[in-house]
Each structure stands twice: as structure tokens, then as C-alpha cells.
Amino acid sequence: MIILGVDPGLTRCGVGVIEAGAHSRLSFIHVDVVRSEPEQPQDLRLLTVYNGLAAKMDEFIPDVVSIERVFAQDNRNTVLGTAQAAGMAMLAAAQRGIPVAVHTPSESKTAITGNGKAQKIQVERMVARILNLNTLPKPADAADALAIAICHALRPAGAIQGGEREQHLTAAQRQWAMAAQKAGKSSRVRRAM
């Protein structure tokens, strides 16, 4: 399975492509950053991001596009631009009939390091280690795009129910599944209130 990860951003939109093979074997294919110029009008910047992402999807023909979920930031303009860039990734994928998965930064950190609050350098080191890279992926947007692709590849198919299936998960996958299971329970509790 080819997974194209996207770390959305208006100025720098990270793109990472990996292949997930049998037995959770992950292989590096490509990493890059789609850039737009801050001096350009917003609509042209979004078009640049869209065109860059569409070109990557056409080149690598992924089976799924994994996008980092936008979360609230202090700077409203930054979060709006990030959300719009994520929308461009979703649009490009939808036009090509490619399924989209969205993962939070903490899900990505948990899947890769086993710690949802891991520092950026820890994530970068684990990305390099998992993909057998000789150097850390740069810039940070590129490393984050690979991390979100790896997160999707390592995610468990469902909640852990124990037994034989649990034995085949890595420690990071078990923690990821437990965090997802816990988040699901808390959201059900909130809906019931």
C-alpha cells in the first residue's frame, strides 16, 4: 500500500510518501515540501498548494492520503491557512477517488514513539529509524508528513480486544490503540451527557 502523508501548511506543506508492505514493513519513497509565496494573494497560494499536492498524487498514485488534523493555534490566521491547505489535500484526493484518513499530531507521536507528547526531535529520529534513513528528514514539515504517513500505516485495524491479535501489535501500536479506545470512550460519555 502506498501512503501519501500531508502536513498541511499554507507556506510550507509537507508531503511524505511511504510504502507499507507485509508485516508492517515500511519503505521510504519520497519526501518534499510544496511551497507558496507569502506575498501572493491567498487564492493563488491555495492554488499553488493544490497544484503541488495534485502533482504528487498523480506521480505516486497513493492508495490512501493521510492528513494531519488541524488543531487550534494561538494565531488565527495560521490555523485558517493550515485548515485551507488540508482542504486542498482532501479535494485533490477526492477528485482522484483516493480515500483520506485524518490523524491528530498526538496520534502520530503515539504511533511512532509510544508517547503522545514526544518532542519533535524524538519523532524525527524515530521516522529516520523506522524508514532506515541515514539523515533526519528536513525541514520539519517534511518529517511531519512522513510521520503522519507512518501513523496511518501502523494504526491498528480496530480497538484492542486482547487475545492473539494484541500479541501481533508493536508496543507503539498497542499504545496508539489504547489511546484511540480511551478517546472513543470519552467522546461517547460527552455525547451521552
Binding residues, by number, are: 7, 68, 141
Rounded to an integer, the average pLDDT of 37-51 is 97
- Residues of the domain holding 115: 2-155
Number of structural domains (the chain) is 1
Whether 144 is catalytic: no
Annotated binding site for Mg(2+): 7, 68, 141
Concatenated DSSP letters of 132-168: T-SS--SSHHHHHHHHHHHHHHHS-SS---SSHHHHT
- Whether 172 is in a domain gets the answer no
Out of 107, 124, 141, 144, pick the active-site residue.
Answer: 141
Residue 97 lies in a domain: yes
Residue 39 bears catalytic tag: no
Inform me whether the pLDDT recorded for 170 exceeds 60: no
Within a domain: residue 177?
no
Residue 74 covered by a domain: yes
Residue 166 appears among annotated catalytic residues: no
Q: pTM of the full predicted structure?
A: 0.79
Residue 162 in domain: no
Over residues 64-98, the pLDDT tens digits come to 999 999 876 666 667 888 999 999 999 999 999 99
